[in-house]
Chain A
């Protein structure tokens, strides 16, 4: 992987250059939360953040988008995403989430709507320091080797710039005068020191995470599910904020004149009622327990069976946002506790 260094003094200029290549988005503070929003210049950016409310999936599978328009004459497919979207400040966990979405939408049957948006997305990653809710250390997604176009590691006065793709390479060629190809002894030392500091900062972990697939299998009928089901509000927040939750519904929406309309994809959640209802009103998952169990077994067990890796990237969004404290940590811990003979074994 090619690396450069970039002095922070020239960062505003770098942003100006990047912005000339497409629509630029980055983390912006809104009240007490962060969100990827369109930015004008480098002063809008706030890299001192842990997680945005919604991850980078909003550029790839937006909460709502049109797939077709129709009127009395006929139908026409709609493929959004003609312009290049560049997102800067993406953390390793979110880059991993894109890799997971890519597998789902592109590896088998290629979804044309996703493919279009993905082709026109440029990802410029940014290093981060964890807070108490970050779990990427346990899920093995705290580092990235690919999945980004450029990645910036903040080493104080300067950035280490990692090139991850051809798109990234052409950006560095354009930014030739802002980057230095020299990697000094000092920058290697800085990088190692930064890595050690970061590793020591992870507090919350899921030691049980690596055997979660087996534990879920063994605990399929555990009372733990009923307890969580009882608490769950079926609000769907977990799916909205989870960077790998992509389930969608499709709905046709007609104008008042009943002569035109559009077909729309809408982000769905398996925790919502009616998720598994078929024609004739038979509901395969009529209660919260069944739906919550689907959410967690699919994410933490079935993904491993299908792709060799869980559908959790440890971003901590469910930990932060579930209003009743149901998240990958509490669910994993409760299930793990069930199979432990004594609490000491668990710890």
Chain B
């Protein structure tokens, strides 16, 4: 193969076709997508870590970044969840089962699940943050024996706004992962779990965890981080064991376009997972 062909066939922007094999509405404006690689070679090559992301392409609309929501422990498909907020998602929501689009990645550092072996894990998700953290959550449920205690704290504005609500309720019933679900407000009065911000669930774990053996993983709306971190620090969870996954505008996913820079770090290369210790002094983080 000549050098020229090498560039054309195998370069860092090479995307590959995937087919939508399932989709369903999670809430009024969020939708779940399940895709599979059409290319046999790519099916085997596409490995990822929880917390990594990919870039979707629709020619004529553009590209956009999405977190992977399925765990690497489950093969042959990749899952996503997205909210309709902009031009790209608007176009994407028009796609149906059987439609094909292109995807490239995975990008980002992702969670190092190996380093969490034997530890207590607290997964704290708010709103759309449940999408990327679901990858860790299902990984932990599939390989429960690798971890000590696993807690999943998930918050939503109301029962109708909770993504993957039935799945998470089933998970709470299974009890493999200690699942605690809260809603800010419960207009129906029928919510069987906690009512209040997701932060109120954290003190419940005070007696259960061993702080020095605990790692917390957070993802949620910008306003959530500060309060969740304060509660975790009250439990003495070490600063370098509070892992947060961040969102930024990205055009390349590989440290070239410059948009995702925060305090000299590229969110796409050095993140999107950052420890609280590393970024505690950054002011434009969220």
Contacts and interface: CB of A to CB of B under 8 A. Distances in A.
A231 to B, nearest CB: 20
Given A77-B13, A280-B85, A302 B259 contact: no
Contact of A109 (B59, B85, B86, B254): B254
Contacts of B263: 297, 302
A281 B251 CA distance: 16
B269 A108 contact: yes
A285 B63 CA distance: 22
A248 B64 CA distance: 15
Nearest to B266: A306
Contact of B62 (A250, A277, A284): A250
B264 to A, nearest CB: 3
Contact of B264 (A108, A247, A305): A305
Contact of B283 (A79, A105, A108, A220): A220
Interface in A205-260: 220, 246-252, 254, 258
Interface string A120-164: 000000000000000000000000000000000000000000000
A276 interface: yes
Interface residues of A, number: 50
A110 interface: yes
Contacts of B251: 248-250
A110 B257 contact: no
Interface stretch (B4-12, B113-121, B131-139): B4-12
Contacts of A248: 251-252, 256-258
B261 A277 contact: no
Interface in B169-225: 222
A318 B196 CA distance: 52
B11 A278 contact: no
A158 B249 CA distance: 52
Contact of B59 (A68, A115, A246): A68
B171 to A, nearest CB: 27
A296 interface: no
Given A115-B7, A249-B257, A261-B59, A280 B86 contact: yes
Contact of B60 (A105, A109, A252): A252
Nearest to B86: A279
Contacts of B38: none
Contacts of B259: 247, 249, 268, 275-276
A109 B12 contact: yes
Interface in B1-43: 7-8, 11-13
A75 interface: yes
Contacts of B158: none
B7 A112 contact: yes
Interface residues of B, number: 36
B238 to A, nearest CB: 24
Nearest to B268: A109
Contacts of B257: 247-250, 268
A169 interface: no
A62 to B, nearest CB: 15
A284 B261 CA distance: 11
A290 interface: yes
Contacts of A67: 13
A278 B248 contact: yes
A104 interface: yes
B76 to A, nearest CB: 25
Contacts of A54: none
Interface in A39-89: 67-68, 70, 75, 77, 79
A189 interface: no
A178 interface: no
Interface of B: 7-8, 11-13, 59-64, 83, 85-86, 88-89, 102, 222, 247-249, 251-252, 254-259, 261, 263-264, 269, 283-284, 286
19 contacts: A67-B13, A108-B254, A108-B255, A109-B269, A110-B11, A110-B12, A247-B258, A250-B62, A250-B252, A251-B62, A252-B62, A268-B257, A268-B259, A277-B249, A278-B248, A279-B85, A282-B222, A284-B248, A285-B284
Lowest 10 A-B CB distances belong to which pairs?
A: A302-B264, A247-B258, A112-B11, A70-B59, A109-B254, A280-B85, A279-B86, A279-B85, A250-B251, A252-B62
Interface of A: 67-68, 70, 75, 77, 79, 104-105, 108-116, 220, 246-252, 254, 258, 261, 263, 268, 270, 275-282, 284-285, 290, 294, 297-298, 301-303, 305-306
Given A268-B259, A302-B264, 11 more contacts: A111-B12, A114-B256, A248-B251, A248-B252, A250-B252, A261-B59, A263-B62, A277-B249, A280-B86, A281-B85, A298-B258
